[in-house]
Structure 1
């Protein structure tokens, strides 16, 4: 078996993308954005959604025309050359040790609250989370899609319950007036809120597994982004009404605090379960996409190797095992050495934004007409965000440049040059020795 199974439907695709975009962000970002911009954060969410539309539509068109497990790397190859493809592929894979463990740690923080005494160890909960990721990934995209659709429905139900129990009215949803003083707080909030829509590039790796990629993949991206954006906006309205923002406690605990306020302490276990599920869903898609990236590179360049093999369920099992082992090592190192997870998240974010930027750059060559115009707008937006990353931008650029250098060719040339410099026996010596 050399092809992934085409078993992702439109509904499961929307469920996978929307849960990935909400995931960890829903439990932190609305409160952080409200602390920065207060009521103006409602405008910031609207502006963010307008800004993300060109990026989402461009990814939708790329995935429609080139459904491939290689995702952005494959788009770059079609637009440029195989060397850039490999550099982008391994740039994306390089996020495993710095970005995914931080998200797993956040998911495990919810799982700790569900575990009985004696098993509520953070590292143990991270190991359990990784084991569950492996089980879900090895079950196939169809099973994973169903699980994430259920998680998405649970998140929507929670926000709906907030709106109902919190008695949110049209007055609470009213947009505040804008003036010249609004620019700075909205801009500062946008810099934080952009990460809520990091995940589209990972979803691009799933295009090959859609039953009808040309029809369903672009719809899944557009609808998934809209659903996530609307959920964030309504969640922000609830947080603003009840003042669940303004300090470090609310930044990471606004949703549990609101739940206890509106439903009482009996809802704490439900919120912990939902928080774990949301974070798990976000990490799950990244684990899937990373495995497919490794498999697609092996299929292209080492088709007879172990990484190019698929299981009976049509899953790149060996690539999934490699990612699982890497995650175990990374989480253990981070937990035992008390490394700053926020620091690693910044490094991971720089990689994600650079991948977005390269995808939009490829789109400007692959698309035509109005679609190319949207790609140019999306490219400008990605460049702006990338510059705003500051020092972490240098991390992603350094990795990409190192990966882009043809090291194998250089070493081959150097080896040939060294051989050519070795002294060769002269013909006179050969003649004397012969005589």
Structure 2
């Protein structure tokens, strides 16, 4: 048995993508953006959503026409060749040791508040988070999707409670008047806020598991982006109303601070539960997509190997366990070395943007008509963002260059 089960419905797909896009971002990005642009951050969210639409729509068109667990790597193969496909595939996998453990550590920070004292250490919470990730993934995409849909609903209820308890009215929802001086802070805020929509490329790996990918996959991407964007905007309204921004404390603790002021200290435990769930949901989709990338490469190159096999639940079990093992090892190394998690996140972001860029480049060749023009706009946006990354883009370029060089050597040996 070497085929994934088609279990993802439209509703569970929207739930998975929206929770992935919200993830840890909801707990810090609105406050950071407000600190940069103040009330003009409300405009920045709208501009960001408009800018992300070409990228999301292009991924939707690719996933609709080419549903495959290989995601962007498969799109690149269809557009170019197998050597470039392998390079993009392993480029995406290279995010495991630098990006995912950092996100696991953020989720574990919330989990620590829920664990009893003997086992509430940072490393213990991280390893327990990894174990939960592996367990949820082994249950299958259907169970995972249902879980993330429940998490998405809890996040929306939380934001709705803030709007209600905070007494948000029409005046608070009024958009500020844009002036010439506001363009710079809006642009600066956009540079931070873009990362709230990193996750669409991971969702592309799930296209093969949709019950009706041609109809539901593109709807899930657009609806998921809209739901996440609306939630970020609403949370920003509350943060601006109560001035929960402008200091390093609010950068990562604006929501706990708001909950304590609006609902009292007893609400803290619930915030920890929702915070862990949101972070967990974000990391969960990446764990799924990374294991499916490994499985897709194994299916293509060694179809009889253990990594190419799937369980009775239709899950790439060995690939999932391998990804979980690397995550656990990376968490241990990161904990004992004391390396800066922010540094690793910047390296991971460079990989994500380069993967976006390669997907848009493939779309430019694969799609036709209006979809091709849309892909061209999305490609230009990705190039601008990649250049803006500065020094961190060297990590992605270095890894990609090494992978291309190795692929060329393998091709030369095969020819000889």
Common fold, TM-score beyond 0.5? yes
Pick aligned residue for 2:409 from 377, 383, 407: 407
In the TM superposition, 1:54-65 aligns within 5 A as: 54-65=54-65
Cα distance in 2, alignment partners of residues 72 and 117 from structure 1: 43
> Deviation at 1:170?
1.3
> Deviation at 1:407?
2.6
Give the aligned partner of residue 215 of structure 1: 215
Cα distance in 2, alignment partners of residues 179 and 258 from structure 1: 30
> Deviation at 1:395?
1.1
Cα distance in 2, alignment partners of residues 412 and 13 from structure 1: 41
Cα distance in 1, alignment partners of residues 334 and 350 from structure 2: 19
Root-mean-square deviation (CA), in Å? 0.9
> Deviation at 1:408?
2.1
Give the aligned partner of residue 383 of structure 2: 383
Cα distance in 1, alignment partners of residues 412 and 300 from structure 2: 22
Give the aligned partner of residue 105 of structure 1: 105
Output the TM-score relative to the length of structure 2.
0.98
Cα distance in 2, alignment partners of residues 243 and 6 from structure 1: 46
In the TM superposition, 1:7-156 aligns within 5 A as: 7-156=7-156
Cα distance in 2, alignment partners of residues 353 and 209 from structure 1: 24
Give the aligned partner of residue 325 of structure 2: 325
Give the aligned partner of residue 168 of structure 2: 168
Give the aligned partner of residue 233 of structure 1: 233
Cα distance in 1, alignment partners of residues 196 and 413 from structure 2: 42
Output the TM-score relative to the length of structure 1.
0.94
> Deviation at 1:180?
1.3
Aligned residues: 414
Cα distance in 2, alignment partners of residues 2 and 322 from structure 1: 17
Superposed structure 1 runs of 4+ greater than 3 Å apart: 409-413
Which protein shows a greater Rg? 1
Q: What does the per-residue CA deviation read over 1:299-321, in whole Å, with 9 as the maximum and x for residues that have no partner? A: 11110111100011010000001
Q: What does the per-residue CA deviation read over 1:213-260, in whole Å, with 9 as the maximum and x for residues that have no partner? A: 000000000000000000000000000000000111100000100000
Cα distance in 1, alignment partners of residues 121 and 336 from structure 2: 12
Q: What does the per-residue CA deviation read over 1:144-190, in whole Å, with 9 as the maximum and x for residues that have no partner? A: 00000000000000000000000111111111111111111011100
Cα distance in 2, alignment partners of residues 109 and 407 from structure 1: 44
> Deviation at 1:404?
1.0
> Deviation at 1:280?
0.2
Give the aligned partner of residue 299 of structure 1: 299
> Deviation at 1:412?
6.5
Cα distance in 2, alignment partners of residues 58 and 337 from structure 1: 40
Are 1:184 and 2:184 an aligned pair?
yes
Cα distance in 2, alignment partners of residues 193 and 410 from structure 1: 43
Cα distance in 1, alignment partners of residues 84 and 412 from structure 2: 16
Give the aligned partner of residue 422 of structure 1: none
Are 1:353 and 2:353 an aligned pair?
yes
Are 1:396 and 2:371 an aligned pair?
no
Cα distance in 1, alignment partners of residues 135 and 71 from structure 2: 23
Cα distance in 2, alignment partners of residues 132 and 243 from structure 1: 36
Cα distance in 2, alignment partners of residues 236 and 407 from structure 1: 51
> Deviation at 1:410?
4.6
Cα distance in 1, alignment partners of residues 119 and 76 from structure 2: 46
Give the aligned partner of residue 432 of structure 1: none
Instruction: Name the SS for the 2:118 alignment partner.
Output: coil
Cα distance in 2, alignment partners of residues 116 and 207 from structure 1: 40
